[in-house]
Structure 1
C-alpha cells in the first residue's frame, strides 16, 4: 500500500508540475501576444455575431440622398451619379432636392437652382412651365430612383418680399425673396395642385402615389421668413392641394433643423400639435393629414490642435430628441420618420479649402463616421419604439469645381469618393438584422454625452439572408488621427445553418489604400487636369475594392472565426455565401 501511495504521490507531483509549466507557457504566450500586439500598436477586439438571433428586418434606411442644386441633376456627371446611387438599394433610392419651384433660368450655382415653374403674365394670370422640372424628375425615374418631392421654394411672382430674389452666396445674404410666404395662398395652392396634376399626367397615378411629398425645408430658420403658424398655413394649403390632385398621396413635414435645439424642438412640437388638433387653414376642420414626419440631424466638426475633430454626439442628439418628441404623440408614434437631411455638418457647399473643419470629406473618415452613425440611429429608433424609415445623406456633386476641393459630395468630377463606397457596402446587406456585439464598442449613452473621444468605436452591424450573411465593421474615432494604431479584430460568427459548412468569403475594405481615389490622386501629384490615363486610374480607384481575393473557408458546428487588422477610420464588409 505504501508503494502505491508513493507512486500516486509521484504521479500527482509530476502532474502538478506539468500543470504549473503549462500555466507558465500559456501566460508567456499571452504576454508575448499582448506585447506583440502592443508593439504593433494593435488592440484585440472581439466581435461576436449570432447568425441565429434575428432582431428585425434590415430596412435600407440609408437609400435616401439629396442636394441644393437641382440643375446638376441632368448635367453629365450628375446624370452618371444618379444612375450610380439608384443602383445602391434593393428598393428604389429616394432623392430630394431644393428649389423645384424657384424662379430662374435653370443656371446652377452653389446653394442655388431654379426651374421657372411659375410666372405670371402682365395681367397677373399664372403661367406654368414644367420643362426643367420634367428634366429633373425624368432623370430620377429613368435611373430607377424615386422623387422625394420637397415642395419649395416661393416663386418670385408669389413672394410677399420678392426683391432681392436670387442670392449670390457667399457674397451676400442667402435667405432672400424665395424664402417668404406667398402673397396669395389660393394661387400657391393652385400651383401645387398643377404640379401634382402634371406629374400624374406625365408619369401615371400609380407611380406618383409611390412618391413622398414634403412641404418646404427648415422653416424654423432663414429658409422661411414667416411665423410657425404661417408655416402651418403653408402646410395646410399645400397638403390640401396635393390631396385634391392625388387623394392617396403620401404627405409630410416639417423638415425642421436638429431638435437638440430648443427652438427647433418647439417648432416640431407645435407642428405635430397642429396636425393632431389644430384648426386647418385650408379646410376649416380640425387637424391636418400627416403620413410621415421629417426633421434634420447634423454633427458639428471642429479643428482642434490642427486636425479635424468630428461632432458625432451632436448628430445623434438631434435624432434622440426628435424621436423622443415623435414618441410623445401617441397618434403619430407609429408614423414613418425620415431624417430628410442627416450629415456630419450643415453646409455641403462649404469647401474644406475655406472651412478646414470640413477636411473629413475626401477620405475614409466620412464613411467611418456614417457607418457608426447609422448603427446608433437604428439603436435610438429601437429605444424610442419609433419607425425610422429614412436617413438621407445631403451630398451629391458640383460641376466644374476643383478635384477634391472638400465639398460634401459623393463624387468629384466623375470620380467617386470613399463615402460612396460605404453605400455600395450597405447595398450588399439584405435580409434580417442579427445580433452583433463588440468589446470595442463605445456605449450609445457615452457617445450622446461626449462623442467618441477616448477609445475608438470598433463595432459591427450584421444581416442574414437565406444563403448568406454580411457583417459591416468599422474603426471610428472623432479625432482624425492617421497615426493612430489599428485594431486586431477577431470576428466570431455563431449559429450558422448546417448548409453553411463550406463558405466563400468576400472581404471589402475602405481605408487609406482601398476604395479610395483621394489617396491615389495625391500620389499622382494632386492633378487638376488629369490626362486620360490618370483619369481612368482615378475612376477605377473610386470603386469598391476587395481587401483580399475571395476564398473558401469551412465552418465547424455552425461556428466561424475570421481574424484581420482594421485600421483607424476604416470600414470592412465581410460577405459570406453558402
Structure 2
C-alpha cells in the first residue's frame, strides 16, 4: 500500500535524541583517541551535553586531603577537571554533570564498582561532602561563567537503587546524600539545575514516588528527574564477552514513559525527564552493539522517544570505556557509536541520519519518519523490522510513499539514498570476514573504515502533479535515509549527451 504524505506538517521533530550522550569515566577524556572520537561525533551528529561517571573519583583528583601541623585539611584541585571541560566546550558540547563517585579520602567504606574501582559508599562526613560539592560547582561557575553553568544539569549519583552502585541500595542514605548535595548546589546559585535520582531500569515502582515524597516533604530542591533504560536479560558469559536476550524495542519507549506515569499527581509531575543512559544491553562487552541489527533495533526508539521525555542519552559515544577492563579486541561489543580508532558502527550512522532530518514532521509510521526542512528537502528515515527471538526476518519489505515536492515548476527531483544493513556500512561484518583480528594492521584499519561507509545511490525522480513516488525496498536489518530535493534544471540548450564522444546529434 502506498502512503500519501500530506503537504502540511503534522508536528515538529523533537531534538531529545541529541540533547545528551554518555561517555566512559570522566578522566578518559584526557586521551587523544577519546578526543579524536568526540570531535568526529560532534562533526557528524552534534550532541549538546555529555554525561559520565567518576568526576569526583580519585582519577580526577579533585578531593585531596592532607595533614598539616597535626590537623586534617582538604585541597580541592581542578587541573584535570579544567582540561576535560575545556576540551568539551572547544568541541561544542557541555557537561551533563554527574556528582560521583565518592573520593577515597571521604568514603565511609571500601566498596567499589568497575575495574577502575569507583567508590560507592556514603561520605563519612556530609559536611565535607557539601564543601566538596560547593567548591567544585563554584569553581565551574568562576571559570566558565554563571550564565553558562546555569545551563548544565547537575545529577546526584548514579543508580542508587542498585547495591553495586550505592552501598546496600539504601534509599534513606541516598535521600540524605541528595538533600545535602542539592542544597550545596543551590548555595552556589539558586538557578543552577539539580536533579536525580538516576534510577536503573530495574528500580521498583516505589523508588521514584518515595523520592518525590521525600523532596516534597522536606522542601529539597529538584529541577529534573532522571532514570535509565535497557532491555537486555541476564548475561550469558563467554570469555571476554556476554550474550543476552533482548526485549522488543518498544520496551525502551515504555521505560522512557514510566517516570511521568509514576509521578502523576505528585509535586514532580511537570518536571523535565531525562533518560541519562539508554541502550539495548547494559553490558559493555555484548557484540550486539556492533551490529546492523542494533541500528534497526534502535531506529523506532530514536524516531519516537522525543514524544515521551526531554532527553535520552545513548550510552555511549565511544568504545574508549573500561568498566569491565581494557578491551582485548577492536570490536568487543562496546557501547560506543565508534570503536577505538574512530571506526563507525551501524548505530553511528543511524544517529548521523537523524541529524539529516528536517524539523517538520510530515508523516510517521511503524517503519518510517518523513520530515522536511526550510529548503523544501524531504528526508525519509525508514527501517526494517527486527526479530529479537533470533528468527530470520522476511526479505522484501518495502515502504511506498507519495511525497509532496516544493516548487510546482520542478519537473524532476533528486534522490540521494544512504543505507546501512548486513551488507552495507557494516564494519563489524567486514572485521568478522577478516578473521576478527585483535589488533588490525594499518591496512586492515583502512579496509574497515571503507567498509563502515554507508551504501549510497542516487537517481532522478519524475515529479507528476507536484508529487514523487518513492519505493524504499529494505534489506535485512536495513536503516535507510532517503533525501528528496526539487531540481532547478540549468542544463544549457546545446547540451546533448550523444556528443560526449564527438558524435553528431541526430
Length-normalised TM-score, structure 2: 0.85
2:319 and 2:14 map into 1 onto residues whose CA distance is 28
Contact persistence 1:417–1:542 (CA under 8 A): yes
Matched, 1:397 2:325: no
**Structure 1 gaps, min length 5:** 1-44, 104-113, 280-286, 352-357, 382-387, 442-458
2:355 and 2:304 map into 1 onto residues whose CA distance is 18
Q: 1:198 to 1:436 in 2, by over 3 A?
A: same
| Of 361, 379, 401, the match for 1:492 | 401
Following TM superposition, by how much is the alpha carbon of 1:347 offset from its aligned partner in structure 2, in angstroms? Answer: 2.1
Residue 278 of structure 1 is matched in structure 2 by: 217
1:308 and 1:391 map into 2 onto residues whose CA distance is 22
| Of 172, 188, 213, the match for 1:245 | 188
Contact persistence 2:111–2:121 (CA under 8 A): no
Residue 32 of structure 1 is matched in structure 2 by: none
Q: Larger Cα Rg: Structure 1 or Structure 2?
A: 1
Residue 205 of structure 1 is matched in structure 2 by: 146
Matched, 1:144 2:97: no
RMSD of aligned Cα (Å): 2.7
Q: 1:311 to 1:302 in 2, by over 3 A?
A: farther
Q: After the TM superposition, which of the residue ranges 243-252 and 139-148 deviates more from structure 2? A: 243-252
Residue 253 of structure 2 is matched in structure 1 by: 316
Specify the SS of the correspondent of 2:124. Answer: coil
| 1:497-553 deviations in Å (ceiling 9; x for gaps) | 34583422211101122222122222333223333232223223334x2431x3332
Matched, 1:507 2:417: yes
Following TM superposition, by how much is the alpha carbon of 1:167 offset from its aligned partner in structure 2, in angstroms? Answer: 5.7
Residue 275 of structure 2 is matched in structure 1 by: 339
Matched, 1:413 2:361: no
| Of 218, 221, 226, the match for 1:294 | 226
Matched, 1:129 2:38: no
1:197 and 1:270 map into 2 onto residues whose CA distance is 30
Following TM superposition, by how much is the alpha carbon of 1:57 offset from its aligned partner in structure 2, in angstroms? Answer: 4.1
Following TM superposition, by how much is the alpha carbon of 1:427 offset from its aligned partner in structure 2, in angstroms? Answer: 1.0
| Count, aligned residues | 466
2:197 and 2:43 map into 1 onto residues whose CA distance is 29
| Of 427, 430, 434, the match for 1:517 | 427
Following TM superposition, by how much is the alpha carbon of 1:298 offset from its aligned partner in structure 2, in angstroms? Answer: 0.9
Q: 1:337 to 1:160 in 2, by over 3 A?
A: same
Residue 561 of structure 1 is matched in structure 2 by: 469
Specify the SS of the correspondent of 1:61. Answer: helix
Length-normalised TM-score, structure 1: 0.75
**Structure 2 gaps, min length 5:** 237-241, 487-506
Specify the SS of the correspondent of 1:560. Answer: strand
1:507 and 1:482 map into 2 onto residues whose CA distance is 28
Contact persistence 1:51–1:493 (CA under 8 A): no
1:201 and 1:94 map into 2 onto residues whose CA distance is 20
2:339 and 2:409 map into 1 onto residues whose CA distance is 41
1:303 and 1:217 map into 2 onto residues whose CA distance is 21
Matched, 1:423 2:351: yes
Residue 449 of structure 2 is matched in structure 1 by: 539
1:500 and 1:217 map into 2 onto residues whose CA distance is 56
Q: 1:303 to 1:334 in 2, by over 3 A?
A: closer
Specify the SS of the correspondent of 2:466. Answer: coil
Specify the SS of the correspondent of 2:483. Answer: strand
Residue 325 of structure 1 is matched in structure 2 by: 262
1:208 and 1:567 map into 2 onto residues whose CA distance is 46
Residue 173 of structure 2 is matched in structure 1 by: 230
Residue 478 of structure 1 is matched in structure 2 by: 387
Residue 133 of structure 2 is matched in structure 1 by: 192
| 1:187-217 deviations in Å (ceiling 9; x for gaps) | 1111111111111222222222221111111
Following TM superposition, by how much is the alpha carbon of 1:236 offset from its aligned partner in structure 2, in angstroms? Answer: 2.0
1:196 and 1:307 map into 2 onto residues whose CA distance is 40
Contact persistence 1:469–1:576 (CA under 8 A): yes
